[in-house]
């Protein structure tokens, strides 16, 4: 059975597109059955419509209290029988009750080598700190901000003449490689969470 996946995004949607293409190419035993965005006029929404995938705009500002926003998202996930949630440039912290409902089944990509540079503008934080290497991380989502068990990471060098744009582009290239690969492993049930670590089943080594 192909795993039912929901894509959550707030912006451009390039990671969503990398995953979509990997699915189309037959590399992932899953399908994106639903896209949820908190913003109506962004790339991920346009892409989802072009791919003929149901897109729902769920903006917390329209729900008053957090419990109502949470329930709206949970109702949609139930309707589409979603088993895995992929945050791809989704710029909100999910409520704890939501995370608890799908614990171990929510993945996120972050543009730093976690646990360094959590939160917004991770690439700018890396430049300001003067690190020589940074990168990206795919991890399971827990109640914290960018703190859940790490599934995959890729390292990129930081050059002296880098700007936020050049560094972000170099990191993004790696994001598009490791996120689909992590989703592939997730869809094969090859990722075991053991305490705060992710153990990858031996027959499904990261490519």
Give catalytic residues, as residue numbers. Answer: 110
Residue from 30, 48, 84, 89 in contact with ligand GAR (CB under 6 A)? 89
Of 8-16, 30-38, 125-133, 190-198, which part binds ligand GAR (CB under 6 A)?
8-16
Q: According to the binding rule CB under 6 A, does residue 15 interact with ligand GAR?
A: yes
Q: How far is the CB of 182 from ligand GAR (least distance, A)?
A: 13
Q: According to the binding rule CB under 6 A, does residue 139 interact with ligand GAR?
A: no
Distance CA 102, CA 23 (A): 22
Nearest CA to 175 out of 104, 133, 112 is that of 112
Evaluated on CA atoms 189, 195, 196, 197, the torsion sign reads negative
Q: According to the binding rule CB under 6 A, does residue 14 interact with ligand GAR?
A: yes
Q: How far is the CB of 136 from ligand GAR (least distance, A)?
A: 6
The residues near 54 (Cβ < 8 Å, ≥ 6 apart) are: 33, 34, 35, 48, 80
Q: According to the binding rule CB under 6 A, does residue 103 interact with ligand GAR?
A: no
For residues 71 and 118, which CB has a smaller minimum distance to ligand GAR in the complex? 118
**Bridge partners (DSSP) listed for residue 87:** 8, 108
Half-sphere exposure of 57 (CA within 13 A, CB side): 12
Q: According to the binding rule CB under 6 A, does residue 104 interact with ligand GAR?
A: no
- Residue 195 corresponds to which tokens in the numbers above? 């305490």
Q: How far is the CB of 91 from ligand GAR (least distance, A)?
A: 6
CB 116 within 8 A of CB 126: yes
Residues lying near ligand GAR in the complex (CB under 6 A) = 9, 11-15, 88-89, 109-111, 122, 172, 175
């Amino acid at each position: 059975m192909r795993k039912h996946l929901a894509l959550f995004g707030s912006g451009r949607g390039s990671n969503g597109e990398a995953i979509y293409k990997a699915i189309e190419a037959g590399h992932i035993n899953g399908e994106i059955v639903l896209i949820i965005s908190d913003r109506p006029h962004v790339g991920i929404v346009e892409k989802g419509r072009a791919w003929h995938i149901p897109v729902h705009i769920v903006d917390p500002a329209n729900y008053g209290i957090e419990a109502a926003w949470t329930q709206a998202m949970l109702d949609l996930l139930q309707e589409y029988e979603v088993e895995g949630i992929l945050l791809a440039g989704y710029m909100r912290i999910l409520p704890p009750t939501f995370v608890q409902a799908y614990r171990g089944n929510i993945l996120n990509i972050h543009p730093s080598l976690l646990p360094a540079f959590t939160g917004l503008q991770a690439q700018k934080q890396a430049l300001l700190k003067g690190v020589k290497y940074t990168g990206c991380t795919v991890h399971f989502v827990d109640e914290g901000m960018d703190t859940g068990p790490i599934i995959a990471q890729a390292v990129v060098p930081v050059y002296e003449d880098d700007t936020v744009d050049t560094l972000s582009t170099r990191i993004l290239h790696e994001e598009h490689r490791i996120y689909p690969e992590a989703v592939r492993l997730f869809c094969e049930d090859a990722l075991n969470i053991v305490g705060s670590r992710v153990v990858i089943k031996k027959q499904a080594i990261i490519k």
